[in-house]
Amino acid sequence: MGLNPYAPKPARIVGIKDETPDTKTFTLSPNVFEGFTPGQFAMLTVYGVGEAPFSICSSPFDKDFLQFSIRRMGRVTRMVHEASVGDEVGVRGPYGRGWPVDTMNGRDILIVGGGIGLAPLRSLVLHLLEEREKYGEIAVCYGARTPSLLMYRDELAEWAGRGVKLYLTVDVGEEGWKGNVGVVTTILGEPELDRATAIVCTCGPPVMIRFVLRRLVELGFSKENIYASLESRMRCGIGKCGHCHFGGKHVCLDGPVFQYDEMTGLPKGISPF
């Protein structure tokens, strides 16, 4: 038999960090991938329970571990949340098409995230910061429903210190929040970027992506430079099981990162338009 694509490789949980009340970041070691592109995903197995797709949120430059930020949502994620450091899980991948990192050299980059949608974008930010000098401006516009739902809060300041222009917003403020209040579309115009050539990468809830795409075009960003990461139920990750097949595209193979024009051709429901 050739390689069994349904068999994950074992890895241990070596770190668990609380991000928000319902989301934790898990560090797995060893890094079972030879390499990956930011924005790619993996299938994570809780043995005997199930398997689900998650964006890789660590940097491809981190060779020793992989990280996944996981929100408690269904059966598999609940069991992941109940796992402890030292527990073994299964990982297979990396799958799909990630962010267009090869096109980013010398250009301004705008990263727009909503809620846990920052996870695949964190991988991109860390990748860009590794060779910061290769790129123009890097701006991150990030929003969450409330301040306590902002992901990677302790890292955001560090990103800013390493050359990222950071714009944060929340839908509803909390005590002590002095930042912007409003949805993420209200801050997209703030970064000073060369909008004609800047690459834009966005991920978040479907409704956010829809309004972000609309706003980006209004602001003069070029459609051919706009990319979004979409989500779908998946079982195999390799284009065989049919679950993520929409309008002739497999989210697992053709995505999860899609260019603006590719998304306009997707059927209603999966299309952010």
Q: Which residues bind another protein (CB under 8 A)?
A: 1-8, 10, 45-52, 73-77, 88, 90, 206, 231-233, 235-236, 238-243, 245-248, 267-270
**Phi and psi for 120 in degrees, rounded to 5?**
-70, -20
Closer of 23 and 59 to another protein (Cβ): 23
Shortest Cβ distance from residue 94 to another protein (Å)?
Answer: 13
Angle among Cα 22, 24, 25 to the nearest 5 degrees reads 155
Distance CA 15, CA 24 (A): 10
Residues sharing a CB contact under 8 Å with residue 185, sequence separation 6 or more, in sequence order:
211, 212, 214, 215
Taking the complex as a whole, the smallest distance from the CB of residue 119 to another protein amounts, in Å, to: 14
- By beta-carbon proximity to another protein, the closer residue of 31 and 77 is 77
| Strands of the 199-203 sheet, one edge to the other | 180-181, 165-170, 138-144, 109-114, 199-203, 226-229, 257-259
Task: Kindly state the smallest distance separating residue 258's Cβ from another protein, in Å.
Answer: 13
First to last CA, the chain: 43
Q: Closest by alpha carbon to 39, among 213, 262, 231?
A: 231
Closest C-alpha among 16, 18, 14 to residue 150: 18
- Report in angstroms how near the CB of residue 248 gets to another protein at its nearest: 4
Cβ closest to another protein, residue 168 vs residue 203: 203
Nearer to another protein, 116 or 126 (CB): 116
SS3 for 132? Answer: helix
Nearer to another protein, 2 or 161 (CB): 2
Closest contact distance (angstroms) between CB of 24 and another protein is: 16
Residue with smaller CB distance to another protein, 81 or 165: 81
CB of 267 to another protein, least distance (A): 7
Query: Which residues, 6+ apart, have CB-to-CB distance to 6 below 8 Å?
Result: 92, 236
Q: Is the dihedral of CA 82, 85, 89, 95 positive or negative?
A: positive
CB 29 to another protein: min, Å = 16
Give Cα 100 to chain centroid, integer Å. 13
Between residues 129 and 241, which has the closer beta carbon with respect to another protein? 241
Shortest CA distance to 93 belongs to which of 123, 134, 130? Answer: 123
Which residue lies nearer to another protein by CB, 2 or 106?
Answer: 2
Task: Give dist(CA 265, CA 273) in Å, integer.
Answer: 10
Min dist. Cβ of residue 212 to another protein (A): 17
